[in-house]
Amino acid sequence: MNVVIDSEVIARNAVRVFGNGHIPMMFAHGFGCDQNMWRFITPAFENDYKLVLFDYVGAGKSDLRAYHVSRYSNLNGYVQDVLDICKALALRDVVFVGHSVSAMIGALAAIKEPSYFSKLIMVGPSPCYINHPDGYFGGFEKKDVEELLETMDRNYIGWANFLAPAIMKNPDKPELVSELTESFCSTDPLIARKFAEATFFADNRHDLVKVQTPSLIMQCSEDIIAPYQVGEFLHRHLRKSTLRVLQATGHCPHMSAPEETIQVIKEYLASYSDISQN
């Protein structure tokens, strides 16, 4: 319940607001990335919406000084980031687009402050990544996640190497250099590890029933991180949810198949404006 000053939130989360519309549309990046990942999607909505992009504390260009392990050791801290931004910008009825773990972060935020959100668009969502003895299929065993943490640790050995060569070899492409500093590679390895733990050990299945906001579940084909059964589970437990299976494969349709992703989001939003007019 800590009080934060609104103007500080904007800098803290590297919030960017642009676009020509009035209805706010907020894009939340998933684990491993930052707001850059939305750049193939946002141009399609720029004319009709007020777009809000941000980095969670610990990612991208956010203010690392605002990172506190106790705040971000579970999803609550990330939920608070989203709510802080909505409050700072006085947003209401936001169309929230969340990738991967951000889909659940959006859902938890909408449970706490229903009036902030009008729709939840979930790209590759999962309420729980680990299989449970009660028969729930999340796609992973605990040991898989532990191995992931190890893979991450190992990749941060060559930490400096991640950044340096690309900057050195592309002096003629300054945009690439600036992008790199914005990229997820600049994430602190300890923060990235905590985010991975908060993400992959989360179990929010019991929260689904509390969500009142209508949602679109964008389920990719052959997505190892959020398999089809998980999308179906969400659809069964989220009231007012729509399930769309994309042709796009993998876990990042907004990067591998941006056209289809845009199309499906637009169709969903259009279906809602039809309903509200009738």
Partner 1 sequence: MDPVLDHAPCGYLSFVDDGKILDINKTLKEILGYGNEPFTQSHVEQLLTVSGRIFYNTHLFPLLRLHHKANEIFLTLIARDKTQVPVLVNASRRMHGEMFINECVFIPVMQRKKFEDELVNARRQAEEALKKNEALVALTAELEEKSLELDSKVASLLSLNQNLVEFNKIISHDFQEPIRKIEIFARRLAALAENPASDNELNRILASVQKLRLLTSTLHLYVELADEQVSGMVHLERLILSARDEVSTHLMFTDFDFTVENIVDIQGYERQLQLLFHHLIENSVLYRNENRRLHIHIRGVLVQENIYKSTINKYRYVDCLKIRYSDNGMGFDEMYNDYVFGLLKKIERKSPGLGMGLAVCKRVVENHSGSIKVSSQPGQGCSFDILLPVKLLQ
- Residue positions annotated with a catalytic role: 100, 223, 251
| Pair 19, 45: CB distance under 8 Å | yes
Give φ, ψ of 235 to 5 degrees.
-60, -40
Q: Considering only residues 25, 33, 191, 246, which one is a binding residue for partner 1 as defined by CB under 8 A?
A: 33
Tokens at residue 262, please? 């845009």
Residues 49-68 binding partner 1 (CB under 8 A) are 68
> By the 8 A CB rule, do 56 and 13 touch?
yes
- Using the rule CB under 8 A, is 188 a contact of partner 1? no
Nearer Cβ to partner 1 (199/241): 199
The residue from 44, 87, 197, 210 that contacts partner 1 (CB under 8 A) is 210
**Number of residues near partner 1 (by CB under 8 A):** 60
Question: At residue 112, what is the residue type?
Answer: K
- Cβ contacts of residue 42 below 8 Å, gap of 6+? 19, 27, 51, 53
Tell me the angle at which helices 142-155 and 189-200 cross, rounded to the nearest 10 degrees. Answer: 170
In the list 77, 106, 214, 227, the residue contacting partner 1 (rule: CB under 8 A) is 77
Q: Which residues does 20 contact at the CB level (< 8 Å), separation at least 6?
A: 46, 47, 48, 50
Q: What is the CA radius of gyration of the chain?
A: 18
Q: Does 133 bind partner 1 (CB under 8 A)?
A: no
Tell whether residue 1 is a contact of partner 1 (CB under 8 A). Answer: yes
Q: Give whichever of 111 and 269 is closer to partner 1, judged by the CB atom.
A: 111
Q: Phi and psi (nearest 5°) for 104?
A: -75, -35
Encoded tokens for 190: 């300890």
Q: CB nearer to partner 1: give 6 or 150.
A: 150
Closest approach of Cβ 278 to partner 1, in Å? 26
Three-state DSSP class for residue 117: strand
With CB under 8 A as the contact rule, the residue among 158, 168, 274, 276 that binds partner 1 is 158
Stretch that binds partner 1, among 43-51, 52-60, 69-77, 270-278 (CB under 8 A): 69-77
Dist. CA 126–CA 226, nearest whole Å: 6
Binding site for partner 1 (CB under 8 A): 1-2, 30-33, 36-37, 39, 68, 70-71, 74, 76-77, 80, 100, 108, 111-112, 140-141, 144-148, 150-155, 157-158, 161-162, 165-166, 176, 179-180, 183-185, 190, 200, 210, 222-225, 248-252, 255-257
